[in-house]
Amino acid sequence: MDNDTRISLVIATYNWPAALRACVEACFRQSDRNFEIIIADDGSGEATRALVEELQARAPVALRHVWQPDDGFRLAESRNNGILAATGDYIVTLDGDCVPQHDFIARHRALAEPGYMVTGSRILLSDAFSKRVLAEAIDLQALSLAEKLRYRLQGGLGKAAQLLVKLPDLGRRRHRFSFRRIKGCNMAFWRSDLERVNGFDESFRGWGYEDSDAVARLFHAGVMRKDGAYATEVFHLWHREAKRDQASSNQHIVLERMVHKTTQAAIGLREHGTRAPAAATDKLPAA
C-alpha cells in the first residue's frame, strides 16, 4: 500500500478505561501518522466517555468515538459501527486491551495487498505484569532488549521472539483456510472486501467466533490471508475471560457456514441503513 492511503484503526472497547488509555496513547506514538482512530464502544459508561474526550483534546490524528447502548456482548455490531464511521480504504482492527508497538500501523501498511487480508498475533502479558504496566504507566513500546528478555524469563511476557526479530513482509500467504491465528484484536482488511461480505455478523451474540466467521466468509469470497506474525504483534493485557455461554453455538454456526461456503453476514453493514446509527463524537487532530 502506498503512503498516501489512509488507514482506519477501529479499536473495540468496553468499560476498561485504564487499558484503553494505554492502547490509545501507544497509537498516538505511531511512526506512521497517516491513519485515523475510531473507538468502537460496546456500551461503556461515563468513565470511558470522559477519557475519550480527554484523548480527543490532544490527539495527533483524527479520533472518533462511536457508542451503542449496553445490551450484552455485541462486539460484531460494535465493530461494524466503527467500520461505518471510518473514512479510510483500509481497516485495521485492534482491541482496547491491546497495546500496539510503535510501528504497528507501518507494518500493516507494508503487508497490505489487494486480494488479501492480514491476521496478526498477540503477546499475552501476565496478570501481575499487566497490573504493573497500568499502575506505573510502563511504556511497552520503549522496552529495551534486556527488559524484553527479563520480562520473558520472569513470566511477564508470554513470548519474546516476535519482539526480537522483525520480518515485515515475507509474503506468507495462506491459500487454504485455517482457524489458526485468527484474532479479532489484530486483523486488517480492505474496506471494499468487508462491504462485499456485509461486514461482521451481528447475529453472533455473546463471546466468540465472530472474527473466525468474518475470515471464513472472506475466504469463500476469494480473499486470501497473509500472516502478520513477527511484524504486527500487540501486547495483550491480562483480564478475566468473558463469559462464553454462546461459544459452542457460535462455533457451530461457523462450521456449518464452512460447509455451505457462506459469504454474507446475516445481519451486517447493509442492515445498518434500516435502523438508527450509533452515537458518535468526532475530533480532528489537535493543533
In this structure, are residues 11 and 95 in contact, taking their beta carbons and an 8 Å threshold?
A: yes
Convert the pLDDT of each residue in 114-123 to its tens digit: 999 999 989 9
Q: Which residues contact 252 (CB under 8 A, 6 or more apart)?
A: none
Confidence of residue 273 (pLDDT cuts 50, 70, 90): confident
Confidence of residue 229 (pLDDT cuts 50, 70, 90): confident
CB-hemisphere CA count at 13 Å for 26?
32
Instruction: Report the pLDDT value the prediction gives residue 103, as an integer from 0 to 100.
Output: 96
- How many Å apart are CA 101 and CA 166, to the nearest integer? 12
Instruction: Report the pLDDT value the prediction gives residue 246, as an integer from 0 to 100.
Output: 62
As a whole number, mean pLDDT of residues 36-62 equals: 97
Domains of the chain and any CATH numbers: 7-265 (3.90.550.10)
pTM, two decimal places: 0.92
Percent of the chain with pLDDT over 70: 92
pLDDT(18) > 60: yes
pLDDT(42) > 90: yes
Q: What is the largest CA-CA distance in the chain?
A: 54
